[in-house]
Amino acid sequence: MEHLTILAQAAARSSSGPVFRVQTVLDSLWGQVTTLSWLQAVIAISFGVLYLLYGWRIFRAVVVICFGLVGLFVGIKIGARFGSEILGGIAGLAILAGASIPLMRWAVSLLGAIAGGIITGGLWYAFELPEKYLPAGALIGIIAGGMISFIVFKIAVMLFTSFGGGILIITGLLALVYRYEGIQNPPTTTVKTMLYNSHWFLPALLLAPTLIGIIVQNKFIKSSKSWSV
């Protein structure tokens, strides 16, 4: 762990960007949790289970959707500068979603690298290492995830679909617990307190379903002779 800290410090010194703030990420996640209704939370959990267990079957559609949403977001931002957010969003969605189809292996490898970066960044946060070096810790996971994804493509598929499913499941579960705590007399705030005060809480919640998804998907893939990438 000491070697990782030294490596992160060296990377951080070479960067002149702003310091990463975990608080911003937690606020964004909690904002999503508190806005979900009971029904929306259940739907999120349902789709999360689908991605977690059968992502290897639908990964192509998931990749196109992910890149399409990124293109939509970027297109809206660019289109706003030219006075047409709708056209910009549509153009961005079409370009990135369309480009991800012929570049499917590259797209999956990129998503695998991002998932790896978030996981190692989460572990960095869980072990309460210096927060200002967290982006460098995440960079280690991005590099490792990207390299593994190019070497063993199936791992990239299992990694990013399991991780994406885990995010949906955890978000839905947290929303259900939040709603349940809100109807108690008096209302409680246990889940919010743990999310903000316990560094291990969120990384553990995300890592557990990701590992389960990878294990289960690996068994499914081995038993499915017709599946290929």
Tell me the C-alpha distance between 182 and 179, whole Å: 5
This prediction's pTM: 0.82
**Which residue has 């978000």 as its token pair?**
171
pLDDT score at 25: 87
Whether residue 168 lies inside any domain: the answer is yes
User: From CA 22, how far away is CA 121, in angstroms rounded?
Assistant: 10
135 in a structural domain: yes
17-21, 56-60, 117-121: range with lowest mean pLDDT: 17-21
Mean pLDDT, range 22-43, rounded to an integer: 92
Q: Determine, yes or no, domain membership for 190.
A: yes
Quick one: residue 128, left, alpha or beta (phi over 0 = left, psi -120 to 50 = alpha)? left
Is residue 79 situated within a structural domain?
no
Q: Would you say residue 207 has pLDDT above 60?
A: yes
Place of tokens 């369309």: 98
Confidence tier at 11 by pLDDT (50, 70, 90): very low
Residue carrying structure tokens 């549509």: 90
For CA atoms 141, 18, 201, 158, give the dihedral sign.
Answer: negative
Q: Is residue 30 part of a domain?
A: yes
pLDDT in tens, 192-206: 999 999 999 999 999
In a domain? residue 88 = no
How many whole angstroms separate alpha carbon 43 and alpha carbon 57? 20
Query: How many domains does the chain contain in total?
Result: 1
Range of the domain at 28: 23-56+104-216
Please report whether residue 5 resides in a domain.
no
Residue scoring higher pLDDT (15 or 174):
174
Q: Quick check: is 96 in a domain?
A: no
- Rounded to whole angstroms, the Cα distance separating 30 from 196 reads 9
Output the CA–CA distances (angstroms, integers) from residue 109 to 124, 132, 138, in the order listed. 22, 27, 16
